[in-house]
Amino acid sequence: MTKPPLTLYLAAPRGFCAGVDRAIKIVEMALEKWGAPVYVRHEIVHNKFVVDGLRDKGAVFVEELSECPDDRPVIFSAHGVPKSVPNAAQARNMIYVDATCPLVSKVHIEAQRHADNGLQMIMIGHAGHPETIGTMGQLPEGDVLLVETPQDVATLDVRDPDRLAYVTQTTLSVDDTADIVTALQNRFPAIVGPHKEDICYATTNRQEAVKAMAPKCDAMLVVGAPNSSNSKRLVEVGARAGCAYAQLVQRAEDIDWRALDGITSIGITAGASAPEVLINEVIDAFADRFDMTTELVETAVENVEFKVPRVLRQAG
């Protein structure tokens, strides 16, 4: 039986970013240096395949520092943690390694600097997301106001409308965030924004590739985890950019083939914490069913690299 023809558009950039690469490397190097078990507070990155792989090597994933023994190293996830967490680790004389993405750390520093200058902080982010919790936790409880939508801006109760600054979660939709920033600037003309966009280069680049790819595709799949903010935003961006069917899949086995019946083109991309092996697995599943032509949709080239903390580069 002849296979139906299919054009597969592959987004570039896609998948792992420098912050995720660094975080995974930190866990692997910590296991090499100190042996198993090494504890990790929260999933190091939001991807089950990656987490399971590190668990097999001896990493123990916990949600709170209180679940860790004093005598084993603990690693803080790439999403960042409130200040209270390293403070508690220090108080217990624990060895800890902070795998917070440097671009998230930049937002933490920014929030502290604005607060030191007497400005009240507003955070654009998703309630309950580990990165939002970590960033808001850089300042005393109640000092940071959270907004999730432009509508939230109207109900903000601020100390002084002329003494405000905002930061954002690094994995948001660029377009949605722009709408919220506009609402903030309209209501509070004196509000101070970041020196440089908080939304990270990887999030922005992956969204731009999806915007370029979406109008060409009958359907689009984003390889990523359901708890991955940047992956979910890619689905939304794809749908908004004109792709009639945009879905998140963790693995090839999650593909809904019935929904894809009759398509002649498919777009594939992946969130920043999805490894290339899972992307290839999805591509192979299409190659099994279709006579496939692959086209790369490249909108940027990434060559960012972040160093791992010095403690892991030192002998002993």
Which residues carry out catalysis? 131
Backbone torsions φ then ψ of 164, nearest 5 degrees: -130, 150
- How far lies 69's CA from each of 38, 39, 80, in Å? 10, 9, 21
Residue 275 structure tokens? 């490894």
Distance, in Å, from the CA atom of 116 to the CA atom of 140, rounded to the nearest integer, reads: 12
User: Could you tell me which of 47, 92, 28 has the C-alpha nearest to residue 66?
Assistant: 92
Question: How far, in Å, CA of 199 to CA of 217, rounded?
Answer: 26
Query: For residues 134, 135, 140 and 145, what is the CA-based torsion angle, rounded to 10 degrees?
Result: -120
**Which residue intervals of 35-162 are DSSP H helices?**
48-57, 84-91, 102-116, 130-136, 150-154
For residues 295 and 131, give the distance between their C-alpha atoms in angstroms, rounded to a whole number.
34
Residue identified by tokens 């000092």 is 143
CA–CA separation, 190 and 164 (whole Å):
7
Distance of CA 178 to the CA centre of its chain: 18
